Amino acid sequence: TDTRTTHMDKSGYGGTGNLPYPGITQDTCTIAAEVRNKDILLIDDLYTESVNIDEDAIQTLLNHGANSVTLYCLGRTKSYQSDIVKDKAKLYKQTLKDTYDLIIDGYSIEAISKERGVTVGTIVNHIWEISTILGSYPLEQFRPPESIILAVKEAAMKLGSSRELKPIFEELNEEIPYNDIRLALIFTDEY
């Protein structure tokens, strides 16, 4: 089942489904009948506090009749949730905090726009402001295709400005929309 796992999502290669939630194992995995009456050793590479995917897998195995489930992890990460709280504290406007919460919950730009009752352009501007405070790391889900990022970077370098949208839009023969240019500029520093 197509899901956005925390590892894949952060690297920019996540799926389009939901982030971990209670019941995701049941919804996305087929549990073999052979687990019934067995003692299961569940192995994971990292345990991430507050994501609760391991706990969800344990509960699903128990629900399918396993006698017991022992979890063994090779390492433990610090709480992703605590990182979100720290990041959010750096945002100085409530409107940015509200948009950031929806970003972290996996909403698309269009869904955030609808939820917040503002235009898509306003949300793109929020994303831009968030990137200037927190960097691009929490915004990977909005990363345009590499071809657009490179074209925007090239145009900005040619013009000597990476913040003026209209000249970049014109340099790109008006083929890349303003919102895509603004999003691409978030990621141009990586090249």
pLDDT tens-digit series, residues 28-81: 888 999 999 999 999 988 776 655 678 888 889 999 999 998 988 887 765 555
Question: What pLDDT digit, counting tens, does each position of 12-27 carry?
Answer: 555 666 666 777 888 8
Rounded Cα gap, residues 62 and 23, in angstroms: 13
110, pLDDT greater than 90? yes
Q: Which of 23-37, 47-61, 123-137, 170-184 has the lowest mean pLDDT?
A: 47-61
Neighbours of 36 (CB within 10 A): 12
Q: Is 129 exposed, middle or buried (0-12, 13-18, 19+ CB in 10 A)?
A: middle
Alpha helices in the chain (DSSP H): 6-11, 24-28, 53-63, 80-90, 94-104, 109-116, 120-134, 146-159, 165-171, 178-187
Other C-beta atoms closer than 10 Å to the C-beta of 14 total 19
pLDDT number for residue 86: 64
Query: Can you name the residues that pair with 175 across neighbouring β-strands?
Result: none
Query: At 165, is the secondary structure helix, strand, or coil?
Result: helix
Q: Tokens 């919460």 identify what position?
A: 101
What angle separates helix 109-116 from helix 120-134, to the nearest 10 degrees? 110
Q: Residues 155, 130, 84, CA angle at the centre, nearest 5°? A: 135
Q: Is 151 exposed, middle or buried (0-12, 13-18, 19+ CB in 10 A)?
A: buried
**Maximum CA extent, the chain:** 68
| 145-157 mean pLDDT | 91
Per-residue confidence band for 191, with pLDDT thresholds at 50, 70 and 90: very low
Question: How far, in whole angstroms, is CA 187 from its chain's centroid?
Answer: 15
Model's pTM, two decimal places? Answer: 0.54
Q: Which residue has the tokens 């990476």?
A: 162
